[in-house]
Structure 1
């Protein structure tokens, strides 16, 4: 996880919102589908919802790029990373 703020990340609009029910299986499936299309996505969640960004990234098999407040940026894993994990 990087602590550096990339201006491109700030311009990125949230495409996945996690609501009152928390991070469900359907939410993870949506994150995976969007990562296939975009490679980098921003996920936001409600203030009263407890979300562990590292757990979400692991469940979606994504790279956790950054977390700021109630927002996280996820990136699709590259082919090299997938091979190393096997």
Structure 2
């Protein structure tokens, strides 16, 4: 499936993982479990999680930790595959 097709599919997805002040290490297990069960997972980065970093940087780091592909980031939300 191409990135464009994945983005289209992700459009209607609800956010199922929220990253807050505890940071991305607190959601890696949950995200890994969700990625086993479904093709795409939408992650929302709350202001407390971002601190001085961008959503893009956090999403790339998170994707790397769970061995996933970052499909896209939009605003404070990322889609992982």
Pick the structure with greater CA Rg.
1
Aligned-pair distance for 1:7?
3.5
Structure-1-length-normalised TM-score: 0.73
Alignment match, 2:46:
46
How do 1:3-82 and structure 2 match up within 5 A? 6-24=7-25, 26-50=26-50, 52-75=58-81
Count of residue pairs the alignment pairs up: 73
In 2, the alpha carbon distance for the partners of 1:4 and 1:70 equals 21
Contact preservation (8 Å) 2:7, 2:71: no
Aligned-pair distance for 1:48?
3.3
Which structure's residues are more often helix, by fraction? 2
Q: CA RMSD in A?
A: 2.1
- Structure 1 alignment gaps of length 5 or more: 76-86
| Cα separation, partners in 2 of 1:4 and 1:36, compared to 1, 3 Å | closer
Structure-2-length-normalised TM-score: 0.77
- Structure 2 alignment gaps of length 5 or more: none
